Amino acid sequence: MAERLVAWAATTATVYALLLAVYVASCIFVEGSSRRLAAAKLQPRAAPPALIRRDIRQSILSLAAIAAMFATGQWLYARFGWGLAPLRGVLGGAASFALSMVVFDTWFYWLHRLIHTRPFYARVHRWHHLSVTPVAWSNNSDRLIDDLFLQSYWLVAHFLVPAGPAVLLAHKLYDQITGVVGHSGYEHGGLWCRPPSPLVGVTHHDQHHRYFRCNYATHFTWWDRLMGTLHRDHDAELRRNLAATAAAKRAGQ
Ligand SMILES: [Zn+2]
Ligand SMILES: [Zn+2]
């Protein structure tokens, strides 16, 4: 029993160290590359420094909870084989990565809509929305109960997607980095998110922080389009923001 506990704690500590390192490194990198885009900042107001400090403190806590859920899923899979057998080979890996993105996006969209409803919002999700002008560091500023809704996917992912541990880890790191970029306040997206591409740019989640009742998904715009929750100005604003970023880059050369 003690030996199992130690193995679980070691897995959790490793995942936490990795997520924390990727969070800090991507925040520093994204803030650095945002500096030359000052003219293309998405919102005119600046985030209050006290709120940024709050977001950093809470992200450090919240990442520990996410690491514990991710590591528990991995540990149960490695130790007891709890979960679906992975698709094999390079093609199988790519297919299970894509599948995990679609399943997580669906998980995130519907649970995110749920925690925006009256019975849940104040207790679960309001904390994250106190940052109306998010910065990269705001990405994981969630109460622990919020993580139980949106991030518990990583605890049960092996039961939902036939993916190996390396594929799920790669997806989690992708989610960690795109989440940081998505809160940065600058449209870092490129051709890959220009409509009709279904991938989100930064504008998508920035609008969610500005307007609250729209843009609930995390990787793709499919669910928001299908359910009529995409902000009506999303595509037009995204195109404007992409053009503004390109102009700021040209001016800075
Ligand atoms: Zn929200
Ligand atoms: Zn957010």
Ligand number nearest CA of 183 is: 2
Q: How far is the CA of 248 from the centre of ligand 1 (A)?
A: 29
Tens-digit pLDDT profile for residues 11-41: 999 999 999 999 999 999 999 999 999 999 9
Closest ligand to residue 182's CA: 2
The predicted model scores a pTM of: 0.96
**Longest Cα separation, the chain:** 62
- Gap between the Cα atoms of 242 and 238, Å rounded: 6
Of the candidates 234, 241, 226, 227, the residue with the CA atom closest to the CA atom of residue 116? 227
Ligand (nearest to CA of 132): 2
> pLDDT tens per residue, the chain (253 residues)?
788 899 999 999 999 999 999 999 999 999 999 999 999 999 999 999 999 999 999 999 999 999 999 999 999 999 999 999 999 999 999 999 999 999 999 999 999 999 999 999 999 999 999 999 999 999 999 999 999 999 999 999 999 999 999 999 999 999 999 999 999 999 999 889 999 999 999 999 999 999 999 999 999 999 999 999 999 999 999 999 999 999 999 998 7
Using the mean position of ligand 1's atoms as its centre, give its distance from the Cα of residue 134 in Å.
12
Cα(222) to centroid of ligand 2, in Å? 18
Query: Minimum-distance ligand to the CA of 218?
Result: 2
pLDDT tens, position by position, 222-239: 999 999 999 999 999 999
* Closest to 108 measured CA to CA, from 193, 5, 229, 244: 229
Task: Name the closest ligand to CA 179.
Answer: 2
pLDDT for residue 252: 82
Say how far apart CA 137 and CA 194 lie, in whole Å. 25
What is the CA(242)–ligand 1 centre distance, in A? 23
47's tokens: 């985030």
Distance from the alpha carbon of residue 110 to the mean position of ligand 1, in angstroms: 11
Compute, in angstroms, the gap from residue 146 CA to the centroid of ligand 2: 12
Separation of 244 CA from ligand 1 center, angstroms? 26
What percent of the chain has a predicted confidence (pLDDT) above 90?
Answer: 96
Give residue 216 CA to ligand 1 midpoint distance, Å.
7
Query: Counting ligands in written order, which one lies closest to the CA of residue 136?
Result: 2
Q: What is the pLDDT of residue 250?
A: 93
CA 2 – ligand 2 centroid, Å: 38
CB 90 within 8 A of CB 170: no
Q: What pLDDT was estimated at residue 70?
A: 98
Residue type for position 54: R
What is the reported pLDDT for 167?
98
Closest ligand by atom to 131 CA: 2
Rounded to the nearest whole angstrom, what is the distance from the C-alpha of residue 126 to the centroid of ligand 2? Answer: 11
pLDDT on residue 2: 86
- The ligand whose atoms approach the alpha carbon of 205 most closely is 2
Q: Encode the chain in three state secondary structure.
A: CHHHHHHHHHHHHHHHHHHHHHHHHHHHHHHHHHHHHHHHECCCCCCCHHHHHHHHHHHHHHHHHHHHHHHHHHHHHHHHCCCCCCCCHHHHHHHHHHHHHHHHHHHHHHHHHHCCCHHHHHHHHHHHHCCCCCCHHHCCCCCHHHHHHHCCHHHHHHHHCCCCHHHHHHHHHHHHHHHHHHCCCECCCCHHHCCCCCECCHHHHHHHHHHCCCCCCCCECHHHHHHCCCCCCHHHHHHHHHHHHHHHHHHHC
